[in-house]
A and B are shown apart, each in its own frame.
Chain A
Amino acid sequence: MLVDWDQILIALQETISMVAFSLAFATIIGLPLGILLVVTRKGHLWENAPVFNVLNAVVNVFRSIPFIILMVAVIPFTRLIVGTSIGTAAAIVPMVLFSGPYIARLIENSLLEVDPGVMEAAQAMGATPRQIIVRFLLPEALSSLILGLTIATIGLVGASAMAGAIGGGGLGDLAITYGYQRFDTVVMIITVAILVVMVQGLQTTGNILSKKIRRR
């Protein structure tokens, strides 16, 4: 093996921090976006066709760019924000841009699943639109939202590995530099194994959390 365990550990930390920060920022962008995609559609709380159509198109545009291309395409923007286009921090920018619109879609889906009857009851009892979102829509969708965020997190783990290709660091970087380019099969197997365990753990945690909230 061409790397020692310390290197693997550092790579793991990088991956985790890339995923965690991206997830946090992407959720900050994706949650309001997802809510807007629901409440501005026809017949909903703040029906607004222009806003809905624009948001819908923007999300689709971002969702249609493959991550590897998005990563390269936004380099000037990345440089503007973090000052460099290489490294873990730099990788977070395209990861957020990639996963924010994705999370918006997942949240949109979860919110659309909420029984319209509950909204009707909320309106009948005189709730404000804000209260309907905060006290009715989000809590009723929470269990499904968590499953959606789990999917997004796993997607980010994949993206973080790709970010390795432009020097983002992390497990992906390790696998490509040593496992692939220097034919170190052991490193390859170890990084893949770690990624597998990570994804399994994330999915299991997501399932448990979601089930706990559903209490059913």
Chain B
Amino acid sequence: MITFEKVTKIYESTGKQVKALDDVDLHIEKGEIYGVIGFSGAGKSSLIRCVNLLERPTSGKVVVNNQDLLSLSPKELREAKRNIGMIFQHFNLLNSKTVFTNVAMPLLLTKTPKEEVKKRVYELLDFVGLRDKADNYPDQLSGGQKQRIGIARALSTQPSVLLCDEATSALDPQTTQSILDLLKRINKEYNITILIITHEMGVIREICDKVAVLDQGKVIEAGSVFDVFAQPKTEIAHNFVSTVMHDEIPESVHQLIQSQESTSQIYRIVFVGESAGAPLLSQIAKQFDVEVNVLFGSITELQGTPFGNLIVKFEGEAKEISRVIMHINQQEVTVKEVLDNVS
């Protein structure tokens, strides 16, 4: 659906070259919700703006819907853009126009018959739950309502792709949730491919199927949200995961680790999916000659799958403990010894 091939974007600013995107390869399948996360300045904005050529890549290829966008004439490109909806962090609505006209605008640009415009706009306003606001002006709406109007506007041309540029970053947590639910519905009901850029890992966890981590213009990690959350490969990905998974070891546990007796060892065990339901620890306590003590634990849900994170102290002979670890490794869980200063 969306393919980036070796996309590089270089800005010239006061004689200095800044690489906003550095040789980015990315592939987004039809119907996916794809998230791109990164710190500010990582190149997220440039990336999403290259999908509809609001910014032209310095080199590389952008293919959307089997169309190589960079090879299109301005007219063809405008046509192609009607298939790519976009919503923005600050909504970017026309303050001088009513909600109705705002939603209708993309249709008015192509001189769509009046009756058809009316039908489509009310259909969309119903979909986002704001039919009664049709005659209001954007500044009479709350942030969440404005974003809903932005979404309705983006959908008016029935695009197959929706780009979300930090669409929830200016909203409070509750409103964010309702907008994310709406995006999920759009994805399901209209089978629209959604590309989201954000700096909030919560957004990725909530609705994305796949995620790419962007740092200094490079994709440093990409994969299913589940894999990246369960086993982040890079430091940055791990930091992002930590912001929502709360898997940092608490200070009190650190102190325990420091004062641990030589007969005990501390491990972090990560349960994924079905394994989270298995009574692993009680099995261990029965089968092996060790004492099991849970120091810290959390269970989150990821894409409808439980995801557990336990910090456990095993007390017993070193030999017995290593047998325990071997046993755990045979299950579908990850286990790692926790040393001090390592989280």
Q: A115, A126, A127 — which one has the most chain B CB atoms within 10 A of its CB?
A: A126
C-alpha spacing A139/B93, complex, angstroms: 12
Beyond A125-B105, A135-B108, is A115–B92 a contact (Cβ under 8 Å)? Answer: yes
Indicate if the CB atoms of B86 and A135 lie closer than 8 Å: no
C-alpha spacing A115/B139, complex, angstroms: 14
Q: A123, A128, A214 — which one has the most chain B CB atoms within 10 A of its CB?
A: A123
In the assembled complex, B97 has its CB within 8 A of some CB on chain A: yes
Within the complex, what minimum Cβ distance (angstroms) separates B196 from chain A?
15
In the assembled complex, B187 has its CB within 8 A of some CB on chain A: no
Indicate if the CB atoms of B109 and A139 lie closer than 8 Å: no
C-alpha spacing A143/B86, complex, angstroms: 27
Q: Which of A121, A131, A213 is within 8 Å of B88, CB to CB? A: A121
Indicate if the CB atoms of A125 and B109 lie closer than 8 Å: yes
In the assembled complex, B65 has its CB within 8 A of some CB on chain A: no
C-alpha spacing A209/B80, complex, angstroms: 39
Contacts of B93 in A (CB 8 A): 118, 121
Indicate if the CB atoms of B109 and A127 lie closer than 8 Å: yes
Indicate if the CB atoms of B94 and A125 lie closer than 8 Å: no
Q: B77, B92, B154, B157 — which one has the most chain A CB atoms within 10 A of its CB?
A: B92
Contacts of A120 in B (CB 8 A): 54, 88, 92
Beyond A124-B54, A124-B81, A126-B81, is A117–B109 a contact (Cβ under 8 Å)? Answer: no
Contacts of B137 in A (CB 8 A): 215-216
Indicate if the CB atoms of A126 and B78 lie closer than 8 Å: yes
Beyond A125-B81, A126-B78, A126-B81, is A142–B105 a contact (Cβ under 8 Å)? Answer: no
- Interface residue ranges of B60-110 to A (CB < 8 Å): 77-82, 84, 86, 88, 90-97, 105-106, 108-109
Contacts of A140 in B (CB 8 A): 94-96
In the assembled complex, B3 has its CB within 8 A of some CB on chain A: no
Q: Which of B86, B94, B97, B108 is within 8 Å of A124, CB to CB? A: B86
C-alpha spacing A33/B86, complex, angstroms: 32
Contacts of A127 in B (CB 8 A): 78, 109
Indicate if the CB atoms of B78 and A128 lie closer than 8 Å: yes
Contacts of A118 in B (CB 8 A): 92-94
C-alpha spacing A121/B52, complex, angstroms: 11
Indicate if the CB atoms of A142 and B54 lie closer than 8 Å: no
Indicate if the CB atoms of B92 and A121 lie closer than 8 Å: yes
Contacts of B81 in A (CB 8 A): 123-126
Interface size on B, residues (CB 8 A): 29
Contacts of B84 in A (CB 8 A): 124
Indicate if the CB atoms of A139 and B96 lie closer than 8 Å: yes
In the assembled complex, A25 has its CB within 8 A of some CB on chain B: no
Within the complex, what minimum Cβ distance (angstroms) separates A143 from chain B?
7
Query: In the complex, how many residue pairs between chain A and chain B have their CB atoms under 8 Å apart?
Result: 65
C-alpha spacing A124/B163, complex, angstroms: 10
C-alpha spacing A126/B94, complex, angstroms: 16
Interface size on A, residues (CB 8 A): 22
Q: Residue-by-residue, is B291-303 near A (CB-CB < 8 Å gives 1, otherwise 0)? A: 0000000000000
Indicate if the CB atoms of A139 and B97 lie closer than 8 Å: yes
In the assembled complex, A21 has its CB within 8 A of some CB on chain B: no
C-alpha spacing A213/B96, complex, angstroms: 7
Indicate if the CB atoms of B78 and A142 lie closer than 8 Å: no
C-alpha spacing A215/B98, complex, angstroms: 10
Chain A residue nearest to B78 (CB atoms) is A126
Within the complex, what minimum Cβ distance (angstroms) separates A142 from chain B?
6
In the assembled complex, A136 has its CB within 8 A of some CB on chain B: yes
Q: A124, A135, A142 — which one has the most chain B CB atoms within 10 A of its CB?
A: A124
Q: Which of B92, B96, B97 is within 8 Å of A117, CB to CB? A: B92
Name 10 extra pairs, CB < 8 A, besides A120-B54, A124-B81: A118-B92, A118-B93, A118-B94, A125-B81, A125-B86, A126-B81, A126-B82, A126-B109, A215-B137, A216-B95
Q: Which residues of A approach B to under 8 Å, CB–CB?
A: 115, 117-118, 120-121, 123-128, 131, 135-136, 139-140, 142-143, 213-216
Q: Which residues of B approach A to under 8 Å, CB–CB?
A: 52, 54, 77-82, 84, 86, 88, 90-97, 105-106, 108-109, 137, 139, 153-154, 157, 163
Nearest 8 pairs of A and B residues by beta carbon: A126-B81, A117-B92, A126-B78, A121-B92, A124-B86, A125-B106, A139-B96, A126-B82
16 CB-based A-B contacts, threshold 8 Å: A115-B92, A117-B88, A120-B54, A120-B88, A125-B81, A125-B109, A125-B153, A125-B154, A126-B78, A126-B80, A126-B81, A127-B78, A139-B97, A140-B95, A142-B96, A216-B95
